[in-house]
Structure formats: C-alpha cells, structure tokens
Structure 1
Amino acid sequence: MPCLTKKRHGLKISRDMSNRHVRHLRLLSLMILSAVLAGAAGVARAEDPLQEFQPVEKRGRITPFNGAAPLETGKAGSGDSGQLPAGELQPMAKGETGAPVDGAAPSEGVTVFERMGAELPPLPAEKPFEGKPDDAYGAFQRGYYLTAMGLALPRAQLGDRAAQTLVAEILDSGLGVKRDPKAAAFWYEQAANAGDPSAMFKFAVLLMEGRVVPRDPKRADELMKKAADLGNASAQFNHAQTLTADMPGEKGLKAALPYYRKAAEQGIADAQYALSQILINVDGIPEDERATARDWLARAAMAGYDTAELDLALWMIDGIAGERNLEAGFRWMRRAAEGGNVVAQNKLSHLYINAIGTRQDPVEAAKWYVLSRRAGLQDPQLEDFYLGVSDEVQKKALMAANRFRRS
C-alpha cells in the first residue's frame, strides 16, 4: 500500500509502501513527535531494572523512524481498540508464520465429532451477484498485465475511474509494457478528478515531488486530505504527517490523532507506532484511550517494525502502559536485535549481563556488544565489561558475532 508524506518542512518523499515501492519516510515524522513531546509531563512508573543504562523518560519513549520498510497489519476494527494481551505476546522467529496479528487463530471448521448427533445450522440465504465481474482487475491480479491493459484502456477512455487508475498503475510500474511516468500521471489525474481515492493519493504524491508534473503543494495537500477523508489509509497517515508538520506542538498532534487512528485501524504499522507514542505522551488524552497505547505498539511490533519491537521490549521491562513482564520484554528485545536494530543489540547485551528476563550469559552479552560496536554504537559500560571477561569468552563471542553476520 502506498505511503508518502510532504516534501516541504524538510520531509523527504519516497514513492510507495507496496511491494513495488519499499522506500518510506520515517525519520522526521517521529523526530517531530520527539521534539514536541520532549517536554510532556511524566507519570510515575515501577522501579526500572535498566535505570543505570536505559532511562525511559516521561510516560513512554519517542524514537525516530529508522528507515525499515513499513508493513501492514490486520485491521483493528472501526471503533474498536482491539485490545491485545501485550504482556503475553510472543515474537515470531524469522521466517515463521503465525496467527493473524489480532491474535485470532484460524478456524479448522466443524469436525466429524462435533457433527455427530448435532443438527447443522441452516445455510445462509444466497445473495445474487449484482454487476459484471471486473475482468481487467482479475487479469491484473493473476499477472496477465497486457490482457488487463487491453481490457482496462477502452473503459478508461470512456471515463471509468477504476479503469483509469488501473491503467495508470500498469504504466507507472511498467508491468508488461514500457514504463511511462508521464502517461501514468495523465491517467492518475483523470481518475483523481473523477473521485478515485487511490488515484488522488498517487497524484498528490506526484504533485509534491514535482518531477513528472509541475510541483503544486497546495493542490497536493487538498487531494491528500480528500483521499484521507474518503478512507485511503496511506493518505490518512500522510495527512496526519502534514498536520504535525504544519502545526508544531500538541495542537497539531491532536488534530492529526484521528487520521493516525484511522490509518492504524487499516493496518499501517507506522501509524500504529505513531499512535502509541501520542497516546502515551500527549496531555489531555482520555485514560481509556491512553490505556490502549501498548496495544497499538504491539500491533506495530507484530508487523515486524523493529523500532516498535525495541520500544515494546522497554515498555514491558519498565512496566509502561501495562504490567511489567521481564521475560516477554527480553524476547522482544532479542527479536529486534536479531532483525538488525543496533540499539536493541546494545540493550540485549545489558539484559544478558544483568540477567533481566533471561539467565546471565557473558558470551551472548559480549557477542551483542561486539555487533553493536561494529555498527558504530559506543558504550563505555559495555566496553569495560568486555575487557573484563576472559580471553576464552571473548573468542567465543567474536566467533558467534561473525556467524551472526554471515547468517
């Protein structure tokens, strides 16, 4: 799903958040939140076992986006906070697939034993299909791009906005045809003028960039807001980004909050993360909403967003927005570290040294310190620890670190 933001105010623009376009703005969005929330009042929390090396300020921890590819999760459901048992969440191993993000296990159907002696419920009434099948989109989904173009183009020329958007997508991506950004922009604009939310978002991005069409920030903002109000999740997130950039301070954050929430409910992991930070830090948030902050953070973490994994680990260890769970916090920290998050690698070393949520393991502690140090993160306390262990421990740690880099 596409997800871009404004170029002005220093915000960078990438192209898309789908499988085609994986670059995405994250850094400034949370830097904005960080700057705004840095002065927010704090609340009391439980004694912090990491306090000597990991202070967690205020109610939560604001960290900048780190450039990891954004992902989507399942919908939280309109108007439903979708409470997740964050303290019990188990991070999945690499390559592992699991239950849906919201925790629902897949149905196995009615078994033979359940049917014995029981009358099956009546089938629901059959609903007649209205309208003709969209052959063009069906061909597109199956990868028959030339067929899709051949079916969609005549409809696009007759003013069908869905067909216009499909033609633009094929031309923009060069799927089965030569890539033609200018022709794609033409069809995106036609579909946007006809009211297609996806085309509005795509054309707004082009207007922001100013490479294929003349740059027009004002019209881009108007189209982005229209697309957001029509329910486009990517536009909702980016309109929220625009509001936080144009209105620094809590006023902008509160104005952006409904759009972050809508995007989060549609599965935008970046929005889920941003929502969690606003809920835990901004003053005046109702307590019942503030109580869902860890749940939203958990959704972003379950989507594989490593910064959310790191923060969820710290929240669990420190007892922020929920009960303390050292073991679960350790598991999430390890998950983020294994994904390459350098800060998580550093913190994981501390957890191994202090036996927080796990057993004490000097080899693992030294290994993760070596990895974080190689990435440029200096830590005098860990350096003292490393120099104080035996040569044998250092040797094993270096070998383990080298194996990790090759894996």
Structure 2
Amino acid sequence: MKRFLIIVGGLAVLAAGLGPALHTYWSRHWGPDINEAALAYDIGDYETAMDNYLPFAEGGTEKKNLVAMFNVALMYEKGQGVTQNYDEAEMWFTRAAELGNVESQNRLGHAYEYGDWGTENFDRALLWYGMAADQGDVSAQGSLARMYLNSTKGDTLSKAVRWLQKAVDGRDAFSEAALAYLYETGNGVPHDQERAFTLYTRAAKQSVPFAQNKLANIYRAGVLAPQDYKLAYRYFTFAAEQKETAAQISLASMYARGEGMPRDLVKAYMWLSVADGLKNKSAKAPLMNVMQRMSSEQIAKGDALVEKCLKKTLMRC
C-alpha cells in the first residue's frame, strides 16, 4: 500500500512538472480546444493558451469565438505568450466589441477613458461604455454615469442621472453613493434627504467608503436617524480603513472628544497623522491641536501606533 501511494504521488508530481509540455502536445496533435486554452492559461502556459485561443478568435462569431478574441486581446495587452503589443490588443478588443462582447466594450471604454494605451479619448470611451450599458451591463452604466458627472461638456447632468438610476436598479454600489449625494444636495434630482439616507445605507453596506463616511456623519449628528455614536464609530472606522481621509479625521475627533467612548488622544493623534500623511490638508490644524494636549510619552506611543497601523495597511488599527 505504501509503495502504491509513493508511485501515485510521483506520477502527480511528474504530471504537474510536465503540464506545459502536455498542453502543447494536446494542442498540436488533437487540434485547438478552447477549454484547453483556459486550462493552459491557468497554469501559466501562455504560449499553449494562445495557440488554442487564436484559431477560435479568427474563426467565427459565436460566443466561444468572442471569448477567444477577448482573451487573445488580453494576452497581447499583458505580453503573455506573445510580445506585448497594444495595437494588436486594441484590434482584437475592437473586433470582439463590435460583435457585442460586453467585456471588450468595457475594456475599450476604460482604456480610452484613462489613456491606458497612451491616448485618452472621451468620445470613444462614451461610445464603448454606451454599447455595454445598452446591453444592460451595470458596470458600464455606472461608468457612463461617472463620465457624464465629471464632464464639463454642456448639459450632461441629466444623462448622468438617467444612467445612475439604471445602475442603481442593478444594485451598483458606487452608483448608489453618487445618486445619494445628488439627492442630498438636490442636484439634478429633487432634494430628498430620506432617499439619500436609504441609498447611502445600501452603498455603505457594500463597503463604499464615501457612503460609509456619509452614513457615519448622519448617525453622529442624529439627523435623519436617531443619534448613535456606536454606529457612527463603526462606519467611520470602515471608511477610515479604506483610506477615506475625511472619515479618519472625524474618527480622530470622536476619540479626542470622547464621543461614545473614553477619550483617547493617542488614537486621535494616530488617525490624524495617517490622514495628514495621505495629504488631507484639513488634518493639519486638528493634529497640531491634539499634540498640544499630549505628553512626549503619548506622542511617542502615537508614532508607534501609526507605524504599526501602516504596516497592517490600516486594518484593525
């Protein structure tokens, strides 16, 4: 029995080591296989993956062909199994996108919005996001809304609101936070604090730091909901751990004032120092104020906490 286990274990190790070679043998002797392409990609055998994807990318307009086009484009973009080539990547993404592949449409939208391949193009980004959004893709609807919100070209707010509403219907968390802010300020939609509170709550529960900070402020002030320092502390903390500097400053203020907890100047100093390090100019004055109330020992302890907190990437500070 022991000998059998040793033999089986040895074969497993051998198979793992020969994985790329076996994939290459399969593709050359049995023809391209899109599932084999995915398996080869997963183990890092990118050349075999490309050998299997490329015939499908070149050979039709069915769903599997579009998937292959997208993956060929992605591999050209990343330089996996081929020499990195943004022009080839763009060509394959475009071919798949024109045939209705949502993933390629979103990738093109992002690339043109942020200039991933060297050139930003607002109108092309809108075009591709729009094609994906028209197919009901929630991510594209949110991206389209964001672009219209940030645009300075004409009256785009009404378009932003329309796409935000669609994305919110699909439960896109960042769109919920953005639409909540419009309802809070009455910008482009009727002023509706209760609707804003509902949307902030939904987005906060999906870990959107801006919404968590907004919700924390609501509970801290006792506006739209009964004052609840524990909930305010919880949501400020969630947002602060995600580098939301406004939440870090507010959390520090709660520690410094002892709101719903014992006063803790060291923790206040820690969060203000973190916010200051993240270039929030509003942290400087309260940080100086807290330091004036601390002993040298407390400041040293606060500095140690900052270092420890940063090493943990702000989690559970």
TM-score by length of 1: 0.56
Q: Which residue of 1 aligns with 2:136?
A: 231
Would the aligned equivalents of 2:193 and 2:224 in 1 still touch at CA under 8 Å?
A: no
Quote the Cα distance in structure 2 between the aligned partners of 1:385 and 1:398.
13
Deviation, structure 1 residue 351: 0.3
Deviation, structure 1 residue 284: 1.8
RMSD: 3.5
Deviation, structure 1 residue 275: 2.7
Q: Which residue of 1 aligns with 2:7?
A: none
Q: Which residue of 1 aligns with 2:105?
A: 200
Quote the Cα distance in structure 2 between the aligned partners of 1:275 and 1:241.
10
Corresponding residue SS for 1:292: helix
Amino acid at match of 2:184: I
Which structure carries more relative contact order (alpha carbon 8 Å, separation 6+)? 1
Quote the Cα distance in structure 2 between the aligned partners of 1:372 and 1:142.
40
Quote the Cα distance in structure 1 between the aligned partners of 2:242 and 2:112.
35
The answer to whether structure 1 residue 221 and structure 2 residue 101 are counterparts is no
Alignment of 1:368-387 (within 5 A): 368-375=271-278, 377=281, 378-387=283-292
Q: Which residue of 2 aligns with 1:296?
A: 202
Would the aligned equivalents of 2:149 and 2:160 in 1 still touch at CA under 8 Å?
A: yes
Deviation, structure 1 residue 288: 7.4
Would the aligned equivalents of 1:317 and 1:324 in 2 still touch at CA under 8 Å?
A: yes
1:67-111: CA deviation from partner (whole Å, max 9, x where unpaired): xxxxxxxxxxxxxxxxxxxxxxxxxxxxxxxxxxxxxxxxxxxxx
Q: Which residue of 2 aligns with 1:278?
A: 182
Q: Which residue of 1 aligns with 2:248?
A: 345
Quote the Cα distance in structure 2 between the aligned partners of 1:343 and 1:215.
30
Quote the Cα distance in structure 2 between the aligned partners of 1:154 and 1:329.
56
163, 168, 180: which one pairs with 1:259?
163
Q: Which residue of 2 aligns with 1:149?
A: 50
Deviation, structure 1 residue 230: 0.8
Q: Which residue of 2 aligns with 1:3?
A: none
Would the aligned equivalents of 2:37 and 2:50 in 1 still touch at CA under 8 Å?
A: no
From the superposition, tell whether residues 191 and 375 of structure 1 become closer, same or farther in structure 2 (CA, over 3 Å): closer
Alignment of 1:95-174 (within 5 A): 135=35, 138-139=38-39, 142-143=42-43, 145-159=46-60, 160-174=65-79
Deviation, structure 1 residue 289: 4.5
Would the aligned equivalents of 1:185 and 1:213 in 2 still touch at CA under 8 Å?
A: no
Quote the Cα distance in structure 2 between the aligned partners of 1:239 and 1:145.
33
Alignment of 1:175-186 (within 5 A): 175-186=80-91
Corresponding residue SS for 2:259: coil
Would the aligned equivalents of 2:255 and 2:261 in 1 still touch at CA under 8 Å?
A: yes
Corresponding residue SS for 1:360: coil
From the superposition, tell whether residues 134 and 357 of structure 1 become closer, same or farther in structure 2 (CA, over 3 Å): farther
1:337-386: CA deviation from partner (whole Å, max 9, x where unpaired): 34444333322221012221322223323333344445554444553343
From the superposition, tell whether residues 134 and 319 of structure 1 become closer, same or farther in structure 2 (CA, over 3 Å): farther
297, 303, 307: which one pairs with 1:398?
303
Would the aligned equivalents of 2:183 and 2:190 in 1 still touch at CA under 8 Å?
A: no
Deviation, structure 1 residue 157: 1.0
254, 257, 269: which one pairs with 1:354?
257
Q: How many residues align?
A: 271
1:113-163: CA deviation from partner (whole Å, max 9, x where unpaired): xxxxxxxxxxxxxxxxxxxx9626743773454443233211211233232
Q: Which residue of 1 aligns with 2:238?
A: 335
Percentage of pairs with the same residue: 23
1:269-296: CA deviation from partner (whole Å, max 9, x where unpaired): 4333323322333242678744522223
Quote the Cα distance in structure 1 between the aligned partners of 2:249 and 2:275.
6
Amino acid at match of 1:166: N
Deviation, structure 1 residue 200: 2.2
Any stretches of 5+ residues in structure 1 without a counterpart? 1-132
From the superposition, tell whether residues 207 and 247 of structure 1 become closer, same or farther in structure 2 (CA, over 3 Å): closer
Amino acid at match of 1:199: S
From the superposition, tell whether residues 149 and 351 of structure 1 become closer, same or farther in structure 2 (CA, over 3 Å): same
